[in-house]
Amino acid sequence: MTGPNVVAFPRAAPQQVGFERIELLRILDLYGRMVAAGEWRDYAMDFTRDCASFAAFRRTAEVPQMRVEKRPALRNRQGMWTLFGEQGQVLKRGHELAGVLAPVERRLVKVVDS
């Protein structure tokens, strides 16, 4: 009598890219401080197979004032994090979220100082 056949399940690729808890906490912390400074009032998140993005809006009906995108496929190239401006221009790319969010952090310091 032979034993049962054990078949390993193939590891499935994730259906969508998401933010890890620490990444989301960092992004939402910045969002909360920008709301307190009166700069942002709304946000949106989008999760696809290729990327996860967080967009912050000054007003709900406008284009996003800032959008940060996580693309794990670019991890070994220019970095998986990208910061986009209001017109969709790339403001910063990098391997670390903190470095990519730095231009927004600097703008927050200027808003609070004025």
Q: What is the predicted pLDDT for the residue at 113?
A: 60
Amino acid found at 20:
E
Q: Helix or strand or coil: residue 112?
A: helix
Q: How confident is the model at residue 48 (pLDDT cuts 50, 70, 90)?
A: very high
Please give the full DSSP string across 80-105, using - where no structure is assigned.
SEEEE-TTS-EEEEESSHHHHHHHHH
Asked if 23 and 30 count as a contact pair (C-beta separation under 8 A), the reply is: no
In a domain, 90, yes or no: yes
How many CB atoms are closer than 10 A to CB 68?
Answer: 25
Q: What is the predicted pLDDT for the residue at 9?
A: 72
Per-residue model confidence as pLDDT tens digits over 61-110: 778 999 999 999 888 888 899 999 988 899 999 999 999 999 998 887 76
Q: Which domain holds residue 69?
A: 21-105
In a domain, 10, yes or no: no
In a domain, 114, yes or no: no
In a domain, 89, yes or no: yes
Dist CA 78 CA 73 (whole Å): 10
Q: What is the predicted pLDDT for the residue at 102?
A: 92
Q: What is the predicted pLDDT for the residue at 60?
A: 72
In a domain, 15, yes or no: no
In a domain, 31, yes or no: yes
Pairing verdict, β 52-57 and 81-84:
unpaired
Cα angle value 57/60/64 (rounded, 5°): 30
In a domain, 100, yes or no: yes
Number of domains in the chain: 1
In a domain, 52, yes or no: yes
